[in-house]
Amino acid sequence: MQANAQASDRKPIVCAVPSPRVRQWRRGFSHTHLMAQAFAGALNWRVVNLLHRRGWQQPQTRVLAAHRALNVRDAFRVDEVDLTGCEVWLIDDVKTTGATLSACAKLLRQAGAAKINVAVAAAADPDHADFKLK
């Protein structure tokens, strides 16, 4: 990808948080990539697959909230690309503690992204306050 062309057209880049390979294989598709395509298509932006999974990690739902950042610390890699001046929209299915989104955003920032926005389909309440009866 030529980042200069990306930065010069000033349209934001849409990037999905990559699904674990096993889940993608079982489903036959990446649900986060489909979400990113729908989001980008509605705005006439383009999806760029910048992020990739490294190896296997325990699913975040099976890791204590306090340990989730550590679980995804080296879980992703970003393509060697210059995102200087680019605005990136990072798309994921669920945000719980934000550890996955933070790990991905850190890599995009290191690649030079000037602004990183996040869009998720759902945000879980880690304290489960939404489900307590009052």
The pLDDT of residue 90: 97
Mean of per-residue pLDDT scores for the chain: 81
Residue ranges making up the domain that contains 9: 3-131
Q: What is the dihedral of CA 36, 80, 72, 60, to 10 degrees?
A: 20
Does the structure show a pLDDT above 60 at 3?
Answer: no
CATH of the domain at 29: 3.40.50
How many structural domains compose the chain? 1
* E-strand stretches of the chain: 13-16, 46-47, 51-53, 76-78, 87-95, 115-123
Distance from C-alpha of 73 to C-alpha of 131, rounded to nearest angstrom: 30
pLDDT, tens digit, 9 for 90 and up, residues 98-129: 888 999 999 999 999 999 999 999 887 766 66
Q: Tally the residues of the chain.
A: 134
Distance from C-alpha of 68 to C-alpha of 125, rounded to nearest angstrom: 15
pLDDT, tens digit, 9 for 90 and up, residues 4-49: 444 445 799 999 999 877 677 788 878 899 999 999 999 999 999 9
- Residue range 70-93: mean pLDDT, rounded: 86
The pLDDT of residue 132: 53
